[in-house]
Chains A and B, each alone.
Chain A
Amino acid sequence: MRIINKMLMYILISAVIVSIIFPFWWMILSSFKPSTELFIFPPVIWPKQFTFENYISVWKSIPLLRYFVNTVVFAGGVTVISLLFDSMAGYAFARIDFKFREPLFIAILITMMIPFQVIMIPLFVEIYKFGLLDSYMGLIIPRATSAFGIYMMRSFFVSLPKDLEEAARVDGLNEYRIFWNIMLPLCKPAFVTLGIIILMNNWNDLLYPMMLTSSTEMRTLSAGLAMFVGDKVIEYGPMLAASALSILPLFILYLFAQKYFIEGVATSGLK
């Protein structure tokens, strides 16, 4: 009985694993199929003949490289700036005693509950008024800090031993030097976890970049692909190739750093 149960469980788990992998497997294989093979019914999984035709075609029909560059600048820019600002604020909230510290921190936590979808229209108007629509600045500045990031960095700084900056103060270092020379270097593990979360969220975001950009040259991977789906300009095979390419960078990062991807969220849910 025990063994049968165990086997059933392993069969079930394997079925789940297959159902997760299959769409990716099929996407990659099909993206190398010539269009004649894509149209065969019933569909075959393994291509008889490998071709780069779909990749070449999507490269020609949409500015994929441009989207890629935009996504790197946007998601990468947001990550770097946000890590700096979040850690500055998190440090102040955790280690310096100042007026209104508690109410300010609570106010910041409350803003975490505002759904982006609720404020997107006034945000659009604001960015328009600032003349930043369709620009990197307009994409990066509103995301230069996040309540979640401040919260996470504060928790990190709270966990550090208190005598760190006492010793530095005795040595005559000013507040900025303490932060920059002593605290920031200690942040590396927290930066990796938070950085991955911020990078992933922005890399994969659709609504925000779609709303704040209008020209083809400024679209990110997500926004660009979504627009082409809407306009039905590209065909089946090239669409598969484009989707595969768009997830490739994060996928490679995941292969090397999956521990950080998973551990970051696992702990954030416990708070």
Chain B
Amino acid sequence: MNMSNITRKMNKPQVAAFIFILPSLITIFLFWVIPLVASIAMSFMNVDLFFSRTDFVGIENYINMYHDSRFWNALYNTFRFMLMEMPLQISISLLLAVFISRNTPFSKFTRTVLYIPVICSLTAMGILWSLLLDPTLGYYAYLLKVVGFETVGFLKSTTWAMPAIAVMTVWKNFGLTMVILSAAMLSVPKSLYEAATLDGAGNVAQFFNVTLPLIVPALGFCVITNTIDSLKVFDQVYTMTQGGPLNSTETIVQYIYNRGFKIAPFNLGYASSIAVILFMIIIVISLVMYKYFIDKETV
């Protein structure tokens, strides 16, 4: 085969398409598919930090996990965080989305401002909030003292640390949800509102009977992504409390990280088995929620 033959072959659309998708296929296969399979495989093995020894141990990791109170604690904390964060973020976003969908200069300005925390890193914002809540130097700690809270360091209290992280997360993220919901609201046909007004429906009735049913797909998307994100919470916990005090804010991802890279003996197999459980939880919850919203949509 000579050169011109090769060039002609290369020019076939089929071959060209293959060359176009090859880099992506390799990357996704190498860095997403293989690690996922490996994660499941490693959950049945004992693996140390640098893979120097690997032995198959069956479901031993899962049995250990079942008896590991720190795992249950992390699971409990993760759900606690999710149940505090997600409903709050969705309701605040819904409320403000109504306002910023008005398309006045002030509502546009509001949108621009409320989106600022979204572009900042959770790391920097976590640090900022932990400084604001610092019992001796923080301004929020001071304000809370003025309204009657004792100067417990909020992040040093087993009761208040998790709610504080959840509030910070809502503050940081709701702008994103709000923008998505507002885009959905803007696509609701104006005529429906006019008809509802003629029928005598007030603003509140219009919101529940016109807006809400019509933005169900976007709302469902937000609820599901939000839930998944809160189950994967890490950054803000890491910078605000590092899982403390007394592991009261240690979440699943935190625990995976700690087991794998922080606490000796580093057991990547055990860490992987926790990751597999997290994956299954995420899949089950998203499927259940997805089904719920699909049903809602067709009604």
Contact = CB atoms under 8 A, between A and B. Distances in A.
A53 B182 CA distance: 43
A117 B36 contact: no
Given A175-B13, A206-B239, A243-B128, 6 more contacts: A20-B171, A39-B136, A39-B137, A222-B124, A262-B115, A269-B180
A175 B127 contact: no
A111 interface: yes
Contact of B39 (A16, A122, A226, A267): A122
A21 interface: yes
A121 B121 contact: no
Given A119-B32, A250-B119, A23 B21 contact: no
26 contacts: A27-B128, A41-B136, A43-B139, A88-B23, A89-B21, A92-B16, A98-B13, A108-B24, A114-B36, A118-B276, A121-B42, A141-B31, A205-B121, A225-B127, A230-B242, A239-B127, A243-B128, A246-B123, A247-B124, A258-B112, A261-B119, A268-B180, A269-B180, A269-B221, A270-B180, A270-B218
Given A117-B232, A118-B278, A246 B183 contact: no
B50 interface: yes
B208 interface: no
Contact of A225 (B25, B124, B183): B124
A117 B13 contact: no
A267 B176 CA distance: 12
B298 interface: no
Contacts of A203: 121
Nearest to B186: A266
A201 to B, nearest CB: 10
A156 interface: no
Contact of B32 (A39, A111, A129): A111
Interface stretch (A55-63, A143-151, A186-194): A143-151
Interface stretch (B66-74, B158-166, B252-260): B252-260
B119 A200 contact: yes
Contacts of B289: none
Contacts of A246: 121, 123-124
Nearest to B50: A128
B284 interface: no
Interface string B87-105: 0000000001001000000
Contact of B232 (A115, A122, A179): A115
A135 interface: no
Contacts of A250: 119-120
Contacts of A117: 232, 234, 253, 256, 275, 278
Nearest to A147: B28
Contacts, number: 264
Contact of A121 (B25, B129, B138, B256): B256
Interface of A: 9, 13, 16-17, 19-21, 23-24, 26-27, 38-39, 41-43, 45, 85-86, 88-89, 91-93, 96-99, 101, 104, 108, 111, 113-126, 128-129, 141-145, 147, 150, 174-176, 179, 200, 203-207, 211, 221-222, 225-226, 229-230, 236, 239-240, 242-243, 246-247, 250-251, 254, 258, 261-262, 265-270
B40 to A, nearest CB: 9
Contact of A96 (B17, B99, B187, B260): B17
B110 to A, nearest CB: 6
Contacts of B110: 13, 16-17
A98 B42 contact: no
A104 B25 contact: yes
Contacts of A27: 128, 131
Nearest to B23: A85
B238 interface: yes
Given A121-B271, A145-B23, A265-B176, A175 B16 contact: yes
B79 interface: no
A228 to B, nearest CB: 9
Interface in B1-58: 10-11, 13-14, 16-18, 20-21, 23-25, 27-28, 30-36, 38-39, 42, 47, 50-51
A142 B132 contact: no
B275 A121 contact: yes
Nearest 5 A-B pairs (CB), nearest first? A269-B180, A175-B16, A122-B38, A204-B121, A119-B35
A262 B39 contact: no
A206 B27 contact: no
Nearest to A223: B123
Given A111-B28, A115-B228, A147-B28, A121 B272 contact: yes
A93 B18 CA distance: 10
A38 B137 contact: yes
Nearest to A225: B123
A41 B183 CA distance: 45
Max chain A CB contacts within 10 Å: which of B24, B115, B234, B282? B24
Looking at B137, B176, B218, B286, the one whose CB has the most chain A CB atoms below 10 A away is B137
Contact of B187 (A111, A114, A222, A270): A270
Interface string B166-209: 00000100001001101110010000000000000000000000
A13 B114 CA distance: 10
A118 B113 contact: no
Given A41-B136, A207-B257, A261-B119, A92 B11 contact: no
